[in-house]
Structure 1
Amino acid sequence: MACILVIDDNPEFRDILRVHLEANGHRTVLAGNGEQGIALLERGGIDMVLTDILMPQRDGVEVLREAKRRWPGLPVIAISGGGWIGANELLGMAERLGADNILQKPVRRDDLLKAVDDALKANLKKQA
């Protein structure tokens, strides 16, 4: 299964994602902000990124842009609950910037796993 980098500044939400992904056979690497996430991407071995949009120390939009620029084949799923800007606006922006899928918080387990599977399958088709 895939090694998935989960980037979210909320440790409880990050842990929920980890539990769901690992229960489905994936390995996870966790980061609390975009700066940590990019550093982990640079080490290699990551098959997919799940990133929150609103975070301190490099937000998810910056992570998405940099990931798509430096690792163009890497699937990225953007997640947001909104904040001072509505979630729909943030997720729409992420989609326009190249996110392979978008999810709105709170994320249901089945929706998460379907989005991950769909993005991984689409990436395999691109590589073939």
Structure 2
Amino acid sequence: MKILVIDDDGDVRKFILTTLTRENHTVFEAGDGNQGLQLLQEHRDISVVITDLIMPEKEGLETIIEIRSLLPAIKILAISGGGKVGPDNYLVLADTLGANSTLKKPFTGKELLDALRNL
């Protein structure tokens, strides 16, 4: 499976990348929504996007809306630690805006893989 990971935290991206490549997935990574959308334009065969919700430049909720308009069938897993207000509010909003599933940070590799399987 080809998966795009969008997160401004390099450590989180590395953890996700390591977890997914061990399962033989092809992983692309981006530090914000703008970079992620560019990668989606270049690699139309990506089947899943994992996106953080709180990022500089283009945040995750806006990114989800744009992805849905460009590629309505792509699967989206929204992740968030929530910042100052906690993750639950952001994750509920991500569901409303088109995420197929959500996952609260911090999460384990098993939780991530289970969430992907459930997509």
Q: TM-score, normalised by structure 2?
A: 0.96
| Equivalent AA in structure 1 for residue 112 of structure 2 | L
1:36-56, Cα deviation, whole Å (9 max, x unpaired): 000001112211100000001
Superposition deviation, residue 65 in structure 1: 0.5
Paired residue for 1:123? none
The count of aligned residue pairs is: 118
Paired residue for 2:90? 90
| Equivalent AA in structure 1 for residue 108 of structure 2 | R
| Equivalent AA in structure 2 for residue 12 of structure 1 | D
1:62-105, Cα deviation, whole Å (9 max, x unpaired): 11111111100000000000102220000010011111110010
CA distance in 2, matches of 1:16, 1:110: 12
Q: Pairwise CA RMSD of aligned residues? A: 0.8
Paired residue for 2:27? 28
Paired residue for 2:99? 99
CA distance in 2, matches of 1:111, 1:103: 8
Gaps spanning 5+ residues in structure 2: where?
none
Runs of 4 or more above 6 Å deviation: none
Gaps spanning 5+ residues in structure 1: where?
120-128
Find the residue that maps to 1:5 and give its secondary structure: strand
Q: % of aligned pairs identical?
A: 37
Find the residue that maps to 2:50 and give its secondary structure: strand
